[in-house]
Structure 1
Amino acid sequence: MFPPRDQFQAGRGYLGACTLGIPTRNTRDAVLRDLEQWATGTASAHDYSAILERARGHAAALLGVGPDRIATGSQVSVFAGLAAASAPRGAEVLCVDGDFSSVVAPFLVRGDLRVRHVPVHALADEVTDATWMVSYSLVQSATGEVADAASVSAAARDHGALTLVDTTQATGWLPTTGLDADIIVCHAYKWLSAPRGAAFAAFSGRAVDEIVPYTAGWYSGADPWASTYGPGLHLADDATRFDVSPAWHTWVGAEAALGFAASLDAEAVHRYDLGLANAFRERLGLEASDSAIVTWPDADGADLAALAAAGITASGRAGRARVAFHLWNDDEDVDLAASSLGR
């Protein structure tokens, strides 16, 4: 059955996928089973490693790459930080004006890079021969605007620049298997409904060669269980060299969540979520869009307060009210939200 609303325990009035996803019943059960195994002393470190490798495979499917191109971690900013630390002194990094801090701050904190901010719609046109990397979110957190990733990638290739794309606000509702980028980063706790603390990234061959794995540890080797002690440096030849030691309990839930997302027809999810979002836009008198995130000016927070008073979970960002529609929602949620705003 599609959409699989029966897989979620709740969801009515929950328009917060862009802030925090709701776990499926299977994800919840996996976390509870793990808690019981941990509490009874039957949890196994080797079993956790097997779970992580299954999760890596699901992440690879969601990004349309092989598992050897996937690194697992905890936060988007850590992967972006590796890119920032690897940038040559004085290099230009092109960012979107108002983008999420995780893909901007790591470059700013260096202090010796030229970080340039432009509107998302102008991103491709602003790439030059001086640009070392373009770092941006595929879907803007504050506005829901979707970047033209194909044009950005083409411009970057033409000028020899690297690309870093954050799909945290995209993967799960927007198909992300066709992205041409050197580093694709995603935190799984929003649209993918995983526990917070599970992030993954896809690295191109060029990125594997040029980005330094400064966070290298025992999990950065081809066989982590043979990489637990010095004095030698143990680095895998592929993207797993960027792995960090996994937060075991988080990845138990993440494996279930990513497996569920990877099992779905991504185009069907896209059509469904976008259909609900545009139905809500129509009720508000807004033009149709290509985003499942709907935002509108709400400087005084009155609309956000009205949504909350009606029992709707929404959010406010950068002076705008923000709602998101996902698999646990339906037309009744559209009507509930619109009616609460007098529309």
Structure 2
Amino acid sequence: MRPTAVLADLRREFAPAPGHLDAATAGVAPARMLRALREDLDRWGAGRMDVGRYEDAVVRARGAFASLVGVAADRVAIGSQVSVMAAVVAASLPDGAEVLCVTGDFSSTVYPFLAQGDRLRVRHVAADELAAAITPGTALVSYSLVQSATGAVLDDDAVVAAARAAGARTLCDLTQAAGWLRVDAGRYDVSVTAAYKWLCAPRGTAFMTVRADAQDALRPVQAGWYAGADPWSSCYGPAMTLADDARRFDVSPAWQAWLGAAESVTAFAEVDPAVVQAHAAGLADGLRAGLGLAATGSAIVTLPDPDGARRAALEAAGCRVAGRAGRVRLAFHVWDDADDVARALGALAAGPGDVPGSVPGDTPGAR
């Protein structure tokens, strides 16, 4: 699938209220997805549910996501949540394996490993120390490319190189990246992405990419009928014939959710990701400039907000934002424009005190 649309086409799919700066929490449903779901509800209510239509939607969504993140479709598995897919990786590690995580990273990249108790050794380091902390004893490096709490984008070339040199695997969470940031999932042994944020799909849809040379290191502990080589002909025991590609890690799709995901992910795959990135990050850097902060190239802006006063001021001005880890978080996406930047600047100017000149984790030069 190759980009065929332009940014204006994609922007016309969305019509949220002005001031929606919260794609990092959840995306906005595109018009094409709403039409597909409403039509499906009518078919379902009339007793005309079409399973073949859902099967086609899974194929379309898988292919669109593969195109968006630069891998072949047979390297993509479908799932429901990031933590569930990360748990497959955790369950596949040998006893005593060391997992290296980022301090303050989102829990879905950490809890699946901590939940293994003393079977695994989990170590946490600051994001900018991640590459240097990898040793020959590290089995897995698990981290988010874009940090949920701060919006910081890891320049992870050194991380990937250090992991390969040490013989460690990489698990990268692309949830806060895919949809606005141009990414190459093929760089990682495994990547996981929840699609309900920047890709604007229904919640309960997620993707996992698995490099061919990493596939045999993973145990398909969630194998069910949809992980079969031919799901409709291998859905009864006692023999198990799993797909020989990444589909062996598929979970049975929630039909309506994937019908919606096919529409939203395809919409993003039709547009050059670099164009979306320039638009979203450009608006965010415009807000930073208005606040006297350095540009970072991230579509997410976070500001210290320990008492929630800045969030309250933004919401009073009609901005939809989020509070995370003592910060207020503003996330700019395709539906936002210069008016949204101006609205946020006006609210912050009327808010408490001056905005500090820097935010921990939100540094210049980020990818």
Is 2:252 the counterpart of 1:233?
A: no
Are 1:325 and 2:332 counterparts? yes
Distance in 1 between residues matched to 2:87 and 2:66, nearest whole Å: 22
- Structure 2 residue aligned with 1:67, among 68, 73, 81? 73
The structural deviation recorded for 1:177 is 2.7
Task: Report the equivalent of 1:263.
Answer: 270
Note the C-alpha offset of 1:2: 3.1
- Give 1:211's aligned residue: 218
- The code of the aligned residue for 1:36 comes to D
- Cα deviation for residue 190 of structure 1 reads 0.5
| Contact 2:18–2:318 (Cα < 8 Å) also in 1 | no
Q: Which amino acid aligns with 2:239?
A: G
RMSD: 1.1
1:289 matched to 2:296? The reply is yes
Question: For structure 1, which segment, 323-332 or 42-51, has the greater mean C-alpha deviation from structure 2 after superposition?
Answer: 42-51
Distance 1:57 1:322, change over 3 A: same
The residue aligned with 1:103 is: 109
Q: Which residue among 303, 322, 336 is the counterpart of 2:310?
A: 303
How far the C-alpha of 1:256 sits from its partner, in A, is 0.1
Kept in 1: contact 2:202–2:257 (CA 8 A) = yes
* Conservation of the 8 A alpha-carbon contact between 1:149 and 1:179: no
Which consecutive unaligned segments of at least 5 residues does structure 1 have? none
Q: How does 1:59-208 map to 2 (within 5 A)?
A: 59-111=65-117, 112-177=119-184, 179-208=186-215
Tell whether the 8 Å contact from 1:61 to 1:177 is kept in structure 2 after alignment: no
Moved more, 119-128 or 210-219: 119-128
Offset, 1:144: 0.5
User: How much identity, in percent, do the aligned residues show?
Assistant: 52
Q: For 2:116 and 2:230, how far apart are their aligned partners in 1?
A: 32
Check the 8 A contact 2:109/2:142 in 1, yes or no.
Answer: yes
Could you tell me which amino acid in structure 2 is paired with residue 186 of structure 1?
A: T
CA distance in 2 between partners of 1:196 and 1:26 (Å): 17
Q: Deviations over 1:286-312 (max 9, x none)?
A: 111121000011000000000111111
How many Å apart are 1:215 and its aligned residue? 0.2
Q: Give the drift of 1:47.
A: 2.2
Deviation at 1:34, TM superposition (A): 1.3
- Out of 51, 54, 60, the position equivalent to 1:54 is 60
CA–CA separation in structure 1 for the residues paired with 2:17 and 2:145: 25
Q: Aligned partners of 1:36, 1:266: CA distance in 2, in Å?
A: 34
1:140-162, Cα deviation, whole Å (9 max, x unpaired):
00000111222111111000000
Instruction: Name the CA distance, whole Å, in 1 between partners of 2:206 and 2:250.
Output: 10
- Structure 1: distance between partners of 2:120 and 2:205: 29
CA distance in 2, matches of 1:297, 1:232: 56
TM-score (norm 2): 0.92
Cα deviation, residue 11, structure 1: 4.3
Query: How far 1:225 sits from its partner (Å)?
Result: 0.5
Residue 2 (1) aligns with residue 7 (2) = yes
Distance in 1 between the 2:109 and 2:234 partners? 30
User: Is the 2:282–2:297 contact (alpha carbons within 8 Å) kept by the matching residues of 1?
Assistant: no
Counterparts in 2 of 1:216 and 1:273: CA distance versus 1, 3 Å: same
Q: How far does residue 27 in structure 1 lie from its aligned partner after superposition? A: 1.1
Q: Distance in 2 between matches of 1:11 and 1:230?
A: 51
Secondary structure at the counterpart of residue 320 of structure 2: coil
Give the distance between the partners of 1:214 and 1:11, measured in 2 at CA: 43
Paired AA for residue 138 in structure 2: T
Q: In structure 1, the residue corresponding to 2:101 is in which secondary structure?
A: strand
Whether 1:27 and 2:33 are equivalent positions in the alignment is yes
One-letter identity of the residue aligned with 1:277: A
Classify the secondary structure of the residue corresponding to 1:19: coil
Say which SS state the counterpart of residue 86 (structure 2) adopts. helix
Q: CA deviation at 1:46?
A: 2.4
- TM-score normalised by length of structure 1: 0.98
Residue number in structure 1 paired with 2:321:
314
